Amino acid sequence: MAKQQQQSFNKRLQSHYLEQQLSEQQLSRLRKLQVRRTGSVTRYLLATAATIVVVIGGYFYPSSTDNYASISQQIAYNHNAKLQMEVLAPTINEVQGRLNRLGFSLISSSKIDTHKWLLIGGRYCNIDGKIAAQIKYSHPETKAIYTVYQVKVSSERLESLTESATAIDGVNVKLWREKGLLMGLAF
């Protein structure tokens, strides 16, 4: 008997709630809440997607200013290290012949007056994770040392370079592009 009463109670309760309906005003308020919530979710998803795009873009396409500032720091570091030249030679062609792992041909830069500066030699170094040439010049009268850096970078990165000059750790560093190479000068 108790079981029948329980089933009867459950049926009446179920019937009662199935008969219940929301008024038009209640339905309207629920729809507005749903639209507002959907709009908030959409804005949240769009903001999240935009953030992801910016982060990924920054990772794959870093700012050229930051990148070239890093290159300038590496050049200043290499210049201050005052490492011995691996190749002692008075001409760029002789240095090129001995630095045969570069993957590009060294150039005589138009920015270096070879009538005023004597080439001492060259060595391998690393600039921005790539093998590069470090070429050392000396001024015969003042004995000042200039180091010129040449490295092959992608044409896209090279095109984004504008000539720049900065001072890092007491070293003046100039960057420019010439004949398809990224060039650096430290003094």
Give the tens place of pLDDT for each residue, 30-71: 777 777 766 555 555 544 544 554 445 444 444 444 468 999
Given a cut of 80, whether residue 13 has pLDDT beyond it is no
Tell me what pLDDT residue 61 has: 44
130-138 and 145-151 strand pairing: antiparallel
In the predicted model, what is the mean pLDDT of the chain?
Answer: 82
CATH topology of domain 64-186: Phosphorylase Kinase; domain 1 (3.30.200)
Q: Region 59-87: what's the mean pLDDT?
A: 79
Tell me what pLDDT residue 29 has: 80
Comparing 64-68, 97-101, 129-133, the range with the smallest average pLDDT is 64-68
pLDDT digits over 156-173, tens only?
A: 888 888 899 999 999 999
Contacts of residue 19, defined as CB under 8 A and 6 or more positions apart, other chains included, come to none
Q: Region 79-104: what's the mean pLDDT?
A: 94
Give the other-Cβ count within 10 Å of 94's Cβ: 15
Tell me what pLDDT residue 20 has: 72
pLDDT digits over 135-161, tens only?
A: 999 999 999 999 999 999 988 888 888
- Does residue 78 or residue 7 have the better pLDDT? 78
Q: Region 65-79: what's the mean pLDDT?
A: 85
Contacts of residue 52, defined as CB under 8 A and 6 or more positions apart, other chains included, come to none
Residue 126 binned pLDDT confidence (cut-offs 50, 70, 90):
very high
In the chain, the largest separation of any two C-alpha atoms, in whole Å, equals 119
- Predicted structure pTM score: 0.64
Give the other-Cβ count within 10 Å of 87's Cβ: 18
Closest by Cα among 86, 79, 49, 38 to 170: 79
Tell me what pLDDT residue 24 has: 82
Residue ranges of domains in the chain: 2-60, 64-186
The amino acid that residue 34 corresponds to is Q
